[in-house]
C-alpha cells in the first residue's frame, strides 16, 4: 500500500446489540447487509460487570455465516477457554493482557490453534504494552469505552492511542489489523479511520432501526 492509497475499512457489527432471541437470523441479516466480520462479545461477570455468551453460542452461530467470527474475550482467567472457542468456530481470538498472567504465552497459544491472535487495550492501558507483542499479533484492538456494555460514549483520548499504534504497526512492516471498539457511530467512525483504524466494531450504530436499516448503517459506517 502506498501512502496515498486509502486503507480498506472493515466493519464488524457487535452482536451485543442484536436481538438475542433471534441471534442466527440477526447474523444472517448483517452478513447479507455487507458486514466484513461478526464481532462476538464474550463477558463473564468477573473480568467485566456483565455476562453474555459462551462457546456453545459461538458454535450455534457458526453455520449462519461464512464471514470471520471475531471473538472478543472479556473473561478471566482466559487460557483454559481458548481451545473451546477455537473448536466452536472462532476465526479471531482477542484477549486482554489483564485477563491472564502471561499474555505472550496466551498469544502463542492462540496461534498454535491456527487462529488469528488479537490483543486488546482498555482505555487506561498504554500502547507501550504492545512493545514485545507486536511481532506476534495479527490484530490490535483499542477499546474506546471501558468494556462491559454497548451504547457507551466514545472516549476521545483513545484517538491519540490509535495514532500511536498506527505508527507502531507501519514501522513493524507486519500485516496487522487495527481495530476500534466502543461508541463508534457515523460521527466517530471517520475520526477513528483518520487516526489509523481499519476495522470498526459497531453495535448500537449497526443494529439501530432494525434489519431494514442494517445495509445503510454499515455503508455509512464505512464512509460510503
Ligand atoms: C463493549 C464491547 C463492544 C460494544 C460496542 O465491552 O466490547 O463491542 O458492544 O457497542 P457500541 O457499538 O454500542 O458502543
Ligand atoms: Zn467488543
Span 141-161, pLDDT tens digits? 999 999 999 999 999 999 999
Which atom of ligand 1 is the closest one to the Cα of 145? Answer: 1
Residue closest via CA to ligand 1's atom 4 equals 150
Residue linked to cell 486503507: 7
pLDDT tens per residue, range 97-144: 999 999 999 999 999 999 999 999 999 999 999 999 999 999 999 999
pTM check: above 0.75: yes
d(CA 45, CA 48): 5
What residues contact 11, with CB distance under 8 A and at least 6 apart?
34, 35, 36, 37, 199, 200, 202, 206, 218, 221, 222
Cβ–Cβ < 8 Å for 71, 85: yes
181 noted as active-site residue: yes
Q: Nearest-CA neighbor of 134 among 175, 95, 84?
A: 175
Angle formed by the axes of helices 188-195 and 214-222, nearest 10°: 40
Q: Which three cell numbers stand for residue 127?
A: 500502547
Share of the chain above pLDDT 70, in %: 98
Q: What is the pLDDT of residue 3?
A: 59
Residues around ion ligand 2, judged by CB within 5 A, are 41, 72, 181
Is cis: bond before 77, omega within 30 of 0? yes
- Domains of the chain with CATH codes: 10-222 (3.20.20.70)
How many other CB atoms sit within 10 Å of the CB of residue 82?
22
Q: What is the pLDDT of residue 7?
A: 85
pLDDT tens per residue, range 9-52: 999 999 999 999 999 999 999 999 999 999 999 999 999 999 99
Q: What is the pLDDT of residue 6?
A: 77
Q: For ligand 1, is residue 110 a contact (CB within 6 Å)?
A: no
Residue 97 CA, distance from chain mean position: 15
Q: Sorting pLDDT into bands at 50, 70 and 90, what band is 169?
A: very high
Residue linked to cell 513493524: 172
Q: For ligand 1, is residue 120 a contact (CB within 6 Å)?
A: no
Q: Nearest-CA neighbor of 199 among 112, 126, 138, 115?
A: 138
183-202 average pLDDT score: 98
pLDDT for residue 2 is more than 70: no
DSSP state of 14: B
The dihedral built from the CA positions of residue 43, 84, 72 and 171, taken in this order, carries a sign that is positive
Q: Which three cell numbers stand for residue 68?
A: 470471520
Q: What is the pLDDT of residue 224?
A: 81
Residue closest via CA to ligand 1's atom 1 equals 147
Which atom of ligand 1 is the closest one to the Cα of 182? Answer: 14
If one compares 119 and 1, the residue with the highest pLDDT of the two is: 119
Q: What is the pLDDT of residue 10?
A: 98
Q: For ligand 1, is residue 147 a contact (CB within 6 Å)?
A: yes
40 Cα: distance to centroid of ligand 2 (angstroms) = 7
190-194 average pLDDT score: 98
Amino acid at each position: 500500500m502506498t501512502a496515498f492509497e486509502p486503507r480498506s475499512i472493515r466493519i464488524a457489527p457487535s452482536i451485543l446489540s442484536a436481538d438475542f432471541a433471534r441471534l442466527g437470523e440477526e447474523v444472517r441479516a448483517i452478513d447479507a447487509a455487507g458486514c466484513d466480520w461478526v464481532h462476538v462479545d464474550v463477558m463473564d461477570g468477573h473480568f467485566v460487570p456483565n455476562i453474555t455468551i459462551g462457546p456453545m453460542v459461538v458454535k450455534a452461530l457458526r453455520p449462519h455465516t461464512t464471514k470471520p467470527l471475531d471473538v472478543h474475550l472479556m473473561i478471566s482467567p482466559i487460557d483454559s477457554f481458548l481451545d473451546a472457542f477455537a473448536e466452536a468456530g472462532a476465526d479471531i481470538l482477542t484477549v486482554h493482557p489483564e485477563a491472564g498472567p502471561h499474555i505472550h504465552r496466551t498469544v502463542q497459544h492462540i496461534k498454535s490453534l491456527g487462529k488469528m491472535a488479537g490483543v486488546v487495550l482498555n482505555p487506561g492501558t498504554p500502547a507501550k504494552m504492545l512493545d514485545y507483542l507486536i511481532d506476534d499479533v495479527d490484530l490490535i484492538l483499542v477499546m474506546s469505552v471501558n468494556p462491559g456494555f454497548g451504547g457507551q460514549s466514545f472516549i476521545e483520548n483513545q484517538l491519540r492511542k490509535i495514532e500511536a499504534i498506527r505508527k507502531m504497526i507501519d514501522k513493524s512492516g507486519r500485516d496487522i489489523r487495527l481495530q476500534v471498539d466502543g461508541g463508534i457511530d457515523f460521527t466517530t467512525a471517520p475520526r477513528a479511520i483518520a487516526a489509523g483504524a481499519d476495522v470498526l466494531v459497531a453495535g448500537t450504530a449497526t443494529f439501530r432501526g432494525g434489519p431494514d436499516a442494517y445495509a445503510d448503517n454499515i455503508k455509512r459506517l464505512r464512509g460510503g
